[in-house]
Structure formats: structure tokens, C-alpha cells
Structure 1
Amino acid sequence: MWNLERYKENIALYLESGETISYQQIAQSQKEIGSVLRGRTVAVLVCCNTLGCILCYLSLMRKDIVPLLLPANLEEQEVLRITQAYRAKYLCCCRGYLSQNWNPLIAIEDYNIYEIPNWKKTEMSKDLALLLTTSGSTGDSRCVRLSKTNIKSNAVSICQYLKLTQNERAITSLPFHYTYGLSVIHSHLLCGASLLLTDKNILQKEFWQFAESKGATSFAGVPFNYEMMNRFGLLEKLPKSIKILTQAGGRLEPELQEKIAQLAIQRKILFYIMYGQTEATARISYLPPSLALEKAGCVGKAIPGGKIWISEDDEVCYQGNNVCLGYAKSYRDLKKEDENNGVLYTGDIGYLEDGLL
């Protein structure tokens, strides 16, 4: 999916330790990790924004093993329950997370990969590539089923409308398991750009020190991020290297959108308001930066390759190659094929004005 060796000399990851990881080094790690992994199966990945996690994820994808991504703050018993529900063969987590007395199959930086005892093989669709929990669905194990086509088409669209190049440096300001945060990783690796890998949050000074020292060129945030940045005066203190701000994951209050848009104009920053769902592999629409001030409260037009329309009941509908295959609640659903045929009925109410949502 990602031709890592094409950008082999490029720096893929900047670490807080000062170390850098090239695309070639990631490709080599993929081969080493992949050499011990066997079978077409599911692997539960308990996610952190760390080197071990991203190497596990990319290695699983390369081996055609389906990662099921979970947050690191999920209790161990719940992780094990989901592991069993999906008949996962592997469990990947930060060293020290498990209380189980299992020997790791392989250790990767700060992560271990464990092979689940008494694993049972299950039938899976050939198109299934990734399982992501929907917002609030972790308790019942419901996941969105995504294909490689879904992932790549969405990443290509994002690269296109954000005009991403190999010179970009995005800081990991969002959780790895979250579809928006994951889309930042996917799109930047697709175009040979760099990621500033940190598990710090925006209210920690170390986050901004890292962003400043490594020349972060973009920042991605949900409304809460921008509200906190506004409350603590961080918007005015953005690193001078920041050239792109993106916002998704909920409605940004128009007043705050206007404030950020005005700041962006002053700083010559491109500010993108966006809308999406996990079911669309992250992104459905974007508002061009030139309209951010004029169209406060609007989430823009369909991403490249997508189409938006409004149903008779005022529901927002979307069509594109990034629409998921469907849902899964257990291993029994993994054999299902594409149930959506590229069409998503979002459940959200909206309207179009001048072609904008």
C-alpha cells in the first residue's frame, strides 16, 4: 500500500529522543517483524503514538494481517475480550501493559507481539484490511470493516486537496487508533513526508517544544484541541513553521472558527475545516482555506473522488471509494463482503448551499 522503498532516503519519523527513522529502515523492520508472523488473521493492536506501535502496524499491514486498533487506556480484560471475540491470533501492546504471563513472540522497540494461546482460524474476506472501532462502540466491540482500497483512496484524496509534499512534517497530535489521527499517518507516509512522533498532548510544553525544534509544518485537531488552545493562549504561540491547520471530529463553534481563520490569514497559514466519519475511512468533505472566514459553520465540498447529496429526509449522503465495507461485531462478520457498494448514509442532517455542505 505504501511504497516505502520509493522514499528510502527520506526521513519518515522524527523521535523525541532526537533519533530519526528513514523509510528504508521502516521497510527493513517490516521484513524482520513479518518473518515471524504467519497466516491470514486478525491482530489486536493497543495503540500509542510510539515507534513500536507504528512499526507493528505497518508490518501487520504488509503481511496482509488485519489490525484491530484499540486505545491504550482500555482495560486489559476488555482488550482480551475483544481479542477473543474476533479470534485474533496476535496481540500487540506496549511492554508492561499485559499482566498475563505470556512470552512475547517478538519485541519491537517499546512493543511486544504475543501469539494468542489456543487460537482458532476463521474465514475472512479477501478485501478486509483494517478494523476500527466507531466512536463510543468499544464496549460492544463493533468495528468498521475497511479495505486497502478504502484506505489508499482516502489517503490519495487527502494528499491531493491538502497539497501534501515530501517536505511536510506533521506532528502526531491525535490518537493512533482514531480514524482522523490514523489518516494523518496514512497520507503523510503515502507521499514520502515525515511524522513527528510523540505521545505528549497539546497541554504539555514538551509537545510544543518538540514541534518547534523539529519544524512541524502542520497540526491536526478536533474542536476540543482548538478550544483548549484558545483558552490557554496557545493559538497565538503556534510554531512559525506551521503552514497547515486542519480541524475535524465535530462542529467547531463559528466564533472560534472565525478567530482561527483570521489568525491563519495573518500568519499565512492554510486552515482547513473538514467533515468525516470512520465509515468513510476518515474524510468526506473539506472547506477550502479561502472560504474559512466567509463560510463559518460550513464543512465544505466533497473530497476528490467523492460525491455528496442530501436525501429527501435531509440526511447527508456520500459516495466514494473510501466508504467502508460494513460493520463487524465478532469473527463471524469477517467473512462478509462489501455491503455498502461505495454509498454511505451518514445519519447526519445537513443541506447544500452553493455546492457546500
Structure 2
Amino acid sequence: MVKNAGTSQLVWPLAGAADTVAIADATGSLTFGDLTARAQARSLEWGARQLVLLHLGPDIESVISYLAVLSGGHVGIVFGSSQVDLAHRVREAYEPSLVAGPGGWERTGISAPEMHPDLQLLMSTSGSTGSPKLVRLSRQNLQTNTGDIVETLGLTSADRTITTLPASYCYGLSVLNSHLAAGATVFLSSMSVTDACFWVDFNRVRPTTIAAVPYTLSLLESANWQAHDIASLRLITVAGGAVSPADQTRWREYSRVVGFDFVTMYGQTEATARMAVLRPEDYQHGRTGRATPSGAFRLDEKADERPGVGEVIYSGPSVMMGYASCSSDLARPAE
């Protein structure tokens, strides 16, 4: 873990050449070296370990604060612009010592609570709606899952992506982490894929990868995406819901004609992000995919009397530390 702003070592997950562009948005860009320096300086400015309520938006300022959390061993509570009500409840329940986001950061005047040394991030999950229940993720969870994604998708420093999902969503955050960890470039977009401005940026960035949820696929088709210059694409990943058989067939045909890999994935916030990957060569309707390299699936047949039927259990070092509902839960070890 990097804690000295004077060192030239990149902060995790940054792994690109110091003079290579790491992130860009509508306002400008930062190289891996510049991004490291900005994140380390901010972390040192924060001081001792903080609990940071982080509005992680599609902008450079937010990403600097996110990386400051990681570089200094702070703990971040991640939320997005669509989760403002939840953020208010979370602020009341956890009493963060700092609040950060697109507009900068400020202290709340409250001391950080006791927090377990392994704890790194707190993220909402499908069960968080209307309550401050959050998933506790360790640094090991993040690093392991990120490494698995880089390996499975074959991400390299030659890749470029344009964001289509909020980074406050575990899948969207995994896109940011994995591309930066591969030394790739991330263009932070706030535009819908149906917005003409998105395609202006797309043509300028010429991304090699795009991440989608099933609804994104529908939006891409409504935007007549094939009318644009998409020759740079080598990979489209889809997670966040089941892709219908008809959509699977259509998009796999698109991938064959255009020349990109269409990879479906399965994951949960509780396992940091992604648990299973279905490569094109493994495709068969009904399959979820193979477990990520560090994880494993097993079938617990005790859950059902029928042979071959039971509860599918995933295990591995990317599985969460547990849940939290208030600040006192942050000191608890992994369950």
C-alpha cells in the first residue's frame, strides 16, 4: 500500500506507464503518473485513516478521491447520483468523517469510527433499497476480483473503454478497476448510449471494450449502433441480468460479423463484482459460465431432495467480509 506522496510507485489499481493516459473526461485527462500524484497528495491531506462518504461519478475529481481512499488505506462508502436518498440514510447511520465527490471534499467534523484493518469499501447491494445495509469489502476482495477480470478478459495496456455504467454499481466499478489495473485508458462518460454526444466521444476514443447490462443492449440497438464506426471494438461484456435467448442469438451474430467477443458474466456485490464468465467458445443456452480463476462453484444438494438439484454456492477470496448496518459493524472481522 502506498502512503508516501513522494514515491514514484503507482497506487493500486494503477498499473500503466507513468506517461500514458489513465483517465479522461469532458474536461481533460490525467496520465497514470499524474493520477498517482493527485491521489497520494489528497490521501495525505486527509490525514489519519478516514471514513469517506464518496459520491463516485463519471468525472476525474471523483476518481481521484476514490484512489485516495485506496492509496491511504481509508474506507470509502460508495454511492452514485441515483442514490441520494440512500446516501442521506447512510450518512446518518455511519457518520463518515469526510464527504467527497465531483465538487471536491470536506470534513464533517466527526471522528472516524473504529474500522477493521482489512476493510476498504462499503457498497450498496440489491438488498440495500431504503436501508443503510451495505456490503463490506476488503482490499484483498478488490485486488483478487480485479486480477481475475483482467486475466479472464485478457485486458492489456492497449485497451481503451468508454464508461456506460455508473462506478457506484459494483459491475461499473469493476470496469474502472480492471482497466486501470491492466494499464488501459478509461474515458469517463456521463452520456447515455442513445445520446449523439456519446457517439462523438466514442469516435474520438475508439474504445476496444464496452461493458453493458441487458438494457444497454436494447439502447444500443435503438441508437442504430452499427451505423457508427465500431471497428475498434474487440470485446463487449454483459452482466447485471439474464440475456434472453433471442438477444443472445442476435448479439452473437453481431459479434461474428463485426469481429468482437460477446462475453456474458454473472456476479454480485457480495463477491466484489464478477463470479462467472461465459466465453463465446463455451456458450450454450442456460449456462452461467465458468467461475473466475480464484473462485469456485459447488452444488449443495442438501437444499433439495431431487438428484442434481440444489443450492449453488460460490467461494473464494473475493467473497465479502459480511454486511454492515451501522458504524459499529465496521470493526468486525470477516464472517
The TM-score with structure 1 as length reference comes to 0.85
Superposition map of 1:175-190 within 5 A: 175-190=166-181
Q: CA separation in 2, counterparts of 1:211 and 1:281?
A: 28
Q: CA deviation at 1:288?
A: 1.1
Residues 75-99 of structure 1, C-alpha deviation per residue, up to 9 Å, x if partnerless?
A: 3x653431231121001133xxxxx
Tell me if the contact between 1:47 and 1:53 (Cα under 8 Å) persists in the aligned partners.
Answer: yes
Percent identity between matched residues is: 29
Q: CA deviation at 1:247?
A: 0.3
CA RMSD of aligned residues (A): 1.7
**1:32 corresponds to:** 41
SS in 1 for 2:126: coil
**1:305 corresponds to:** 294
Q: CA separation in 2, counterparts of 1:305 and 1:5?
A: 20
SS in 2 for 1:167: coil
**1:23 corresponds to:** 32
1:51 matches 2:42: no
- Decide whether aligned partners of structure 1 residues 3 and 301 sit closer, same or farther in structure 2, where only a CA change above 3 A counts: closer
AA at the equivalent of 1:308 = F
- Decide whether aligned partners of structure 1 residues 266 and 54 sit closer, same or farther in structure 2, where only a CA change above 3 A counts: same
- Decide whether aligned partners of structure 1 residues 49 and 3 sit closer, same or farther in structure 2, where only a CA change above 3 A counts: closer
SS in 1 for 2:178: helix
Q: 2:311 aligns with which of 310, 315, 318?
A: 315
Tell me if the contact between 1:5 and 1:27 (Cα under 8 Å) persists in the aligned partners.
Answer: no
Q: 1:220 aligns with which of 211, 214, 219?
A: 211
Q: CA separation in 1, counterparts of 2:314 and 2:58?
A: 31
AA at the equivalent of 2:130 = G
Q: 1:329 aligns with which of 313, 325, 332?
A: 325
AA at the equivalent of 1:45 = L
Q: CA deviation at 1:208?
A: 1.8
Tell me if the contact between 1:310 and 1:316 (Cα under 8 Å) persists in the aligned partners.
Answer: yes
Tell me if the contact between 2:16 and 2:184 (Cα under 8 Å) persists in the aligned partners.
Answer: no
Moved more, 29-38 or 257-266: 29-38
AA at the equivalent of 2:212 = G
**2:231 corresponds to:** 240
Tell me if the contact between 1:258 and 1:296 (Cα under 8 Å) persists in the aligned partners.
Answer: no
- Quick check: which one's helix share is greater? 2
Residues 154-189 of structure 1, C-alpha deviation per residue, up to 9 Å, x if partnerless?
A: 011101010111000011110010000000111111
Residues 308-328 of structure 1, C-alpha deviation per residue, up to 9 Å, x if partnerless?
A: 112213222111111110000
Q: 1:91 aligns with which of 64, 85, 99?
A: 99
**2:259 corresponds to:** 268
Tell me if the contact between 1:212 and 1:241 (Cα under 8 Å) persists in the aligned partners.
Answer: no
Superposition map of 1:121-200 within 5 A: 121-200=112-191
**1:353 corresponds to:** none
AA at the equivalent of 2:175 = V
SS in 1 for 2:83: coil
Any unmatched runs of 5+ in structure 2? 1-10, 304-309
Q: CA separation in 2, counterparts of 1:4 and 1:256?
A: 35
SS in 2 for 1:211: helix
1:112 matches 2:104: yes
Tell me if the contact between 2:135 and 2:269 (Cα under 8 Å) persists in the aligned partners.
Answer: yes
Moved more, 205-214 or 234-243: 234-243
SS in 2 for 1:290: helix
Moved more, 30-39 or 272-281: 30-39
Tell me if the contact between 1:253 and 1:297 (Cα under 8 Å) persists in the aligned partners.
Answer: no
1:70 matches 2:62: no
SS in 2 for 1:54: helix
Q: CA separation in 1, counterparts of 2:252 and 2:92?
A: 47
Q: CA separation in 2, counterparts of 1:245 and 1:254?
A: 17
How many residues get paired? Answer: 318
